[in-house]
Amino acid sequence: MKLDAKIPPGPIEKKWEQHQLDMKLVNPANKRKYKVLVVGTGLAGASAAATMAELGYQVSAFCFQDSPRRAHSIAAQGGINAAKNYQNDGDSVYRLFYDTIKGGDFRAREANVYRLAQTSVKIIDQCVAQGVPFAREYGGLLANRSFGGAQVSRTFYARGQTGQQLLLGAYSALERMIGLGRVQMHSRHEMLELIVVNGVARGIVTRDLVTGAVSSHLGDAVVLATGGYGNVFYLSTNAKGCNTTANWRAYKKGAAFANPCYTQIHPTCIPVSGEYQSKLTLMSESLRNDGRIWVPKKEGDKRAPHEIPEEERDYYLERKYPSYGNLAPRDIASRAAKEACDSGRGVGKTGLGVYLDFAASIQRLGESAIRERYGNLFEMYARITDDDPYKTPMRIFPATHYTMGGLWVDYNLMSTIPGLHVIGEANFSDHGANRLGASALMQGLADGYFILPYTIGNWLATAKLEKVTADHPDVKAAEASVAARTQQLLSVKGKRTAASFHRELGQIIWGECGMARAATGLTRALKRLPELRQEFWSDVNVPGSGASVNQSLEMAGRVADFIELGELMCLDALEREESCGGHFRTEHQTEDGEARRDDERYCHVAAWEYVGESKKPIRNVEPLQFEFTHLATRSYK
């Protein structure tokens, strides 16, 4: 497989501008002749579908929820970054670019990240024009706060519900196009297969989740905006429906899967409280603007937090990383929490928790200021834990949150299958081995509003597309494979639920490929996962039929794909013999427990190529060059 990133030549600040000039355009009258299929209507998909329809393309959009408004993006809490420098605190496009490259531990593509930083400023203007109610200062200027891995305040927010407000903006734009008949919206449709004709992506096969009808949809380009795969861990902060199925189908049809082992564990989530749990809750990183993280200095100290005097507390992030303090990046803050708990200083019944304490801020700013900034998050915490975080510190612990890995894309956001574009969290993204907080919303909207609508035009203007009709043998074969797989899931009639397999998978992945990874554990997982896959296909029980709503069937299909993806994650983690960002191999650490990269051997993207059932996939490599930043050891001390 040839990985050509198609990075335009020239100085980094001019690459995108020049590329926009160099790309071929589709003239306005011709745009309506092209049909683009957009799978996913979260922030990335809704913004892309609305913008392309506005440009004049015919668009069909798909989501499995009953409304685009229910995409997981709606859960995003803390904010969205942009290099506006409203605070006059030294921010710039270059600084956002540099922070993102460094935050990702020098494992992202420079040209893409620079373009992301450039585009960030437009996103805010676009959203304000749509009426997104960003928080404002008293004088009317948009307000900002800080997120991890940055020493400036560049995060725009709408209380703790930024994703919801941004999605309402994108959704309104999409609905407008639906109303005008320029987007055909297919809600409650799940993409279960990609149609590839003569090596080019030409359509998808969906199952109507209400009637069970399987149908194909053809077009001139396919866009996957299907989100991340964090639910492979079973317990995560993602919405329960988030899955990898669309990406996995594309992978099996020839799209390379990049860096699957790069997953993000978020340091501030409500700790697991029992085995019955199927979901975890994030406490936004924004809370670390005003909350201080600590554990008791003494091992096994079970006193209530207010009984532990100041001098017996270890504010370990402030101690270890004085320049960034509580706003150290997520991978570093998560590992530090794990280290504190591993040393017997964790708090709460399970010992798997650390305190996030607002007492000092409340004393300094008053309770009302804190309530104004984080009121809905405090309320959510109080409802779940029955503790009052205004009076007693929150208990938090790291949890799976985001996936930096995803389908490999070139500078034009096209995968290794011509015509198949991938945007938002579904692609392997601009975040390298660790995403900085508030950068996912920025990336999804940059891709959807500003990048894909240009690059897809270049594809449509230059590709020589043959006519494909519904009776084409490749279309029929894709439909048949969906029907066969559905039938196969229904006919096992075993004894275990899909959820029980999912839970077991999650325990394996969390244990062996979570916050810390080692060759022994990964090898163990790689032995167990194929067994689990076999057990699944011989013992899963999917009640009901495929001819109507059947959530067990939906879940079983997704779990089957997660099991296979889990194997690829472990393989990727095993072969990457270094530590970088969220990928922490215990064999590769410095004396003080920090990640030790190996730039000689691993300064590259690993893009996995599917070669057949039960065969080891091929590991392709895209070397990463750092021309505009210095490939340095990352430090937040």
Ligand X SMILES: Cc1cc2nc3c(=O)[nH]c(=O)nc-3n(C[C@H](O)[C@H](O)[C@H](O)COP(=O)(O)OP(=O)(O)OC[C@H]3O[C@@H](n4cnc5c(N)ncnc54)[C@H](O)[C@@H]3O)c2cc1C
The one among 425, 504, 567, 578 contacting ligand X by CB under 6 A: 425
DSSP-based three-state secondary structure for 379:
helix
Taking CB under 6 A as the binding criterion, the range among 60-68, 91-99, 256-264, 316-324 that sits at the site for ligand X is 60-68
What residue has token string 């989740």?
209
Measured on CA atoms in the order 209, 211, 215, 218, is the torsion positive or negative? negative
3-state secondary structure 482-513: HHHHHHHHHHCCCCECHHHHHHHHHHHHHHHH
Instruction: Give the residue with the Cβ less far from ligand X, 190 or 410.
Output: 190
The mark string for 224-243 relative to ligand X (x by CB under 6 A, - otherwise) is -xxxx--------xx---xx
Q: Which of 330, 335, 435, 597 is catalytic?
A: 330
CB 440 → ligand X: shortest distance, Å? 3
CB 226 → ligand X: shortest distance, Å? 4
Contact 186, 61 (CB under 8 A): yes
Taking CB under 6 A as the binding criterion, the range among 221-229, 376-384, 525-533, 578-586 that sits at the site for ligand X is 221-229
CB 426 → ligand X: shortest distance, Å? 6
In the chain the first and final C-alpha atoms are separated, in Å, by 41
Contact 360, 399 (CB under 8 A): no
The mark string for 395-414 relative to ligand X (x by CB under 6 A, - otherwise) is ------xx------------
Question: Which of 324, 313, 284 is CA-nearest to residue 152?
Answer: 324
Contact 49, 38 (CB under 8 A): yes
269 bridge partner residues: 282, 397
Residues 169 to 208: which contact ligand X by CB under 6 A?
190-191
The one among 58, 73, 144, 263 contacting ligand X by CB under 6 A: 73
Binding residue count for ligand X, defined by CB under 6 A: 45
Residues 244 to 263: which contact ligand X by CB under 6 A?
245-246
**Paired tokens of 29:** 């009258």
- Is 415 a binder of ligand X (CB under 6 A)? no
The mark string for 119-158 relative to ligand X (x by CB under 6 A, - otherwise) is ----------------------------------------
Contact 218, 200 (CB under 8 A): no
Instruction: Give the residue with the Cβ less far from ligand X, 316 or 378.
Output: 378
> Cα–Cα distance between 161 and 378 in angstroms, integer?
13
Instruction: Give the residue with the Cβ less far from ligand X, 46 or 347.
Output: 46
Instruction: Give the residue with the Cβ less far from ligand X, 80 or 468.
Output: 80
DSSP-based three-state secondary structure for 246:
helix
330 flagged as catalytic: yes
CB 146 → ligand X: shortest distance, Å? 13
- Is 8 a binder of ligand X (CB under 6 A)? no
| 407 φ, ψ (degrees, to nearest 5) | -70, 135
Cα three-residue angle 385-389-391, rounded to 5 degrees: 125
- Is 521 a binder of ligand X (CB under 6 A)? no
Taking CB under 6 A as the binding criterion, the range among 119-127, 135-143, 440-448, 523-531 that sits at the site for ligand X is 440-448
**Paired tokens of 24:** 């071929």
Contact 461, 25 (CB under 8 A): yes
User: Residue 53 corresponds to which amino acid?
Assistant: A
Taking CB under 6 A as the binding criterion, the range among 433-441, 473-481, 531-539, 580-588 that sits at the site for ligand X is 433-441
The mark string for 40-59 relative to ligand X (x by CB under 6 A, - otherwise) is xxxxxx--------------
Question: What contacts 594, CB < 8 A, 6 or more positions away?
Answer: 332
> Cα–Cα distance between 475 and 305 in angstroms, integer?
62
Binding site for ligand X (CB under 6 A): 39-45, 62-65, 71-73, 75-80, 162-163, 190-191, 225-228, 237-238, 242-243, 245-246, 282, 401-402, 424-426, 438-441, 444
Give the residue numbers marked as catalytic: 330
